[in-house]
Amino acid sequence: NVDPNSTRLQLLTPFAKWDGKDIENMPVLIKVKGKCTTDHISMAGYWLKFRGHLDNISNNLLIGATNIENGEANNVKNQLNGQFGTVPEVARFYKANNVPWCVIGDENYGEGSSREHAALEPRHLGGRAIIVKSFARIHETNLKKQGMLPLTFANPADYDKIQPSDRISLIGLKNLEPGKPLQCKITHADGGSETIELNHSMNEGQITWFRAGSALNRMAELKASQ
């Protein structure tokens, strides 16, 4: 048994399965500028004592990443109330209001050590997609395992089209299949919009992870069907 008051151990709760709908009007939690390693996403040091407690360690989510909006780390604008807060605080606010969010990233996003928490934490705090110029391969796979959508700009220059105040919609998820780009609608704060293409590297099995909510959920489904 795990003590419910423990700060270091917490039983994992299965992530919710995909609801079968497009994911629309996601705020950008943070548009990351430049290098973003797994240590920027989930810092080590002090935080390692919480690695058995997903909710507590999630308080380090992306606190080392540089916000392109102000050049600062761990200071992002809450698009629902207009106030600035830490990245985990704003992510939790969106989650509490049932608003899925996304992250916009640069080149080789998620490079460095292959820590699973860098993929678990954004999923736990309500993230649905990480959209970048390119991924470090292991982190990309870890995101897939947690039911996240790791997506890359078909045209890397489209990174510049997305502003921190934009809303992001992923269109055509029912037709998600290997090798087929996704349509992404960017809605700007002034009401204007444009559509870009996003690529993914998911195979059929990994797409079932997304639909089930995670790879573990899919394993449970398969076991239950035997």
Q: What is the pLDDT of residues 56-77, one digit of tens each?
A: 999 999 999 999 999 999 999 9
pLDDT at 114 over 90: no
Q: Which residues, in sequence order, are bridge partners of residue 197? A: 183
- Note whether residue 202 is domain-resident: yes
Report in angstroms the alpha-carbon separations of 145 from 77, 105, 142, 207: 29, 19, 5, 10
Comparing 47-51, 93-97, 183-187, the range with the smallest average pLDDT is 47-51
More confidently predicted of 46 and 129? 129
Find the CATH number of the domain harbouring 135. Answer: 3.20.19.10
Residue 4 falls within a domain, yes or no?
no
Asked whether residue 85 is assigned to any structural domain, the reply reads yes
Question: Is 9 part of a structural domain of the chain?
Answer: no
> Could you read off the pLDDT of 147-171 as tens digits, one per residue?
999 999 999 999 999 999 999 999 9
* Structural domain range at position 209: 23-224
3-state SS, residue 4: coil
Q: Which of 187, 118, 178 is nearest to 148 (CA)?
A: 118
Across the range 93-121, mean pLDDT stands at: 97
Percent of the chain with pLDDT over 90: 96
> What is the pLDDT, as a whole number, of residue 99?
99
pLDDT attached to residue 63: 98
Amino acid sitting at position 207: I
Judge whether 16 lies within some domain.
no
| Structural tokens at position 75 | 């200071």
Mean pLDDT across 14-29: 98
Residue 2 falls within a domain, yes or no?
A: no
Looking at residue 103, its pLDDT comes to 99
What's the whole-number mean pLDDT along residues 93-115? 97
Structural domains in the chain (count): 1
Q: Where do the DSSP E strands lie in the chain?
A: 23-31, 66-67, 72-73, 76-77, 84-85, 101-105, 127-132, 149-153, 167-171, 182-187, 193-199
Q: What is the pLDDT of residues 174-197, one digit of tens each?
A: 999 999 999 999 999 999 999 999
Of the CA atoms within 13 Å of residue 57, those in its CB half-sphere come to 29
Is there a domain that residue 12 lies in?
no
Q: Which residue has the tokens 């790879």?
A: 215
pLDDT tier for residue 48 given thresholds of 50, 70 and 90: confident
Average pLDDT of the chain is 97
Within a domain: 121: yes
Quote the pLDDT of residue 120: 98
- What integer is the mean pLDDT of 82-102? 99
